[in-house]
Structure 1
Amino acid sequence: MTTTTNHKSKFFRKKLRKNLSYIFNLFIIVFLIGLLIFIFCQKEKNLNIQSIKVNHGWGYAITNNNRIIIKQTVIPVISEYKSFQTEKEAMAVGQLVMKKLNTNKSPTITKNELILLKIRH
């Protein structure tokens, strides 16, 4: 009778070890995925804006940690290929784009937003 009990005990321990191994591996995978998500979500934004003088007007550039992420040398949304007439206009649109980026919104500009900012085109 001891051989049957011993056999059952070995089988149970082997199965338990296998299940614990799966659970441990699953825990490690979930932990690593969570850590990666945390790291990418916590990436600090260090956004800056600067005006750019171009041939026929002005534009702006937005940088994140000294890397250009947006360089806009023409007025967005309009059908013509024109730069901003003044540095003030370029910076106003750039500030709006930067505000959107800081609130995790799409940085696209609409015609209505250009009108509200009084951008001449």
Structure 2
Amino acid sequence: MNRKQVQSLTILLIGLAVITVYSPYHPRPQYELQTVTTPAGWGYQIVSDGKTVIDQPTVPGRAGQRGFSSEQLARRVGECVVSKLRRGQFPPTLTPSELAQLGVLVH
């Protein structure tokens, strides 16, 4: 190996070592789900580090401004969204079939 290759390999190994040491200690965002009453029914908010990252006062994908029919339904959908966020999916889009599986009828 020539000197340049050795230097490149050394830099790469140092970078990998730093990432390996840092990753377990880097805190992942914590998400808190809150259900809220709205004039349209129920909704949810997802908060991280004291900041609202998602405010969903209505049923996603449904025309109009109707909220969820119950707090339990809003919580179930919100928990699914939090699960997607924890897996690193942003935005945590819900498909019509996912909403149907959660008990939400989208018309």
User: For 1:80 and 1:110, how far apart are their aligned partners in 2?
Assistant: 17
Number of residue pairs matched by the alignment: 99
Structure 2 partner of 1:75: 59
Structure 1 partner of 2:93: 108
Point out the structure with max Rg over C-alpha. Answer: 1
User: For 2:42 and 2:105, how far apart are their aligned partners in 1?
Assistant: 13
User: For 2:105 and 2:37, how far apart are their aligned partners in 1?
Assistant: 17
Tell me if the contact between 2:37 and 2:43 (Cα under 8 Å) persists in the aligned partners.
yes
User: For 1:80 and 1:119, how far apart are their aligned partners in 2?
Assistant: 15
The answer to which structure has the higher helix fraction is 1
User: For 2:66 and 2:95, how far apart are their aligned partners in 1?
Assistant: 16
The runs of 5 or more residues in structure 1 that have no matched partner are: 1-22
- Find runs of 4+ consecutive structure 1 residues off by over 6 angstroms: none
Q: Is 1:118 aligned to 2:106, yes or no? A: no
- How does the TM-score come out when normalised to structure 1? 0.64
Superposition deviation, residue 43 in structure 1: 4.4
Superposition deviation, residue 61 in structure 1: 0.4
* Correspondence 1:4-83 to 2 at 5 A: 42-83=26-67
C-alpha distance after superposition, 1:42-79 (max 9, x if no partner): 34211100101101210000011111100100000122
Structure 2 partner of 1:17: none
The runs of 5 or more residues in structure 2 that have no matched partner are: 1-6
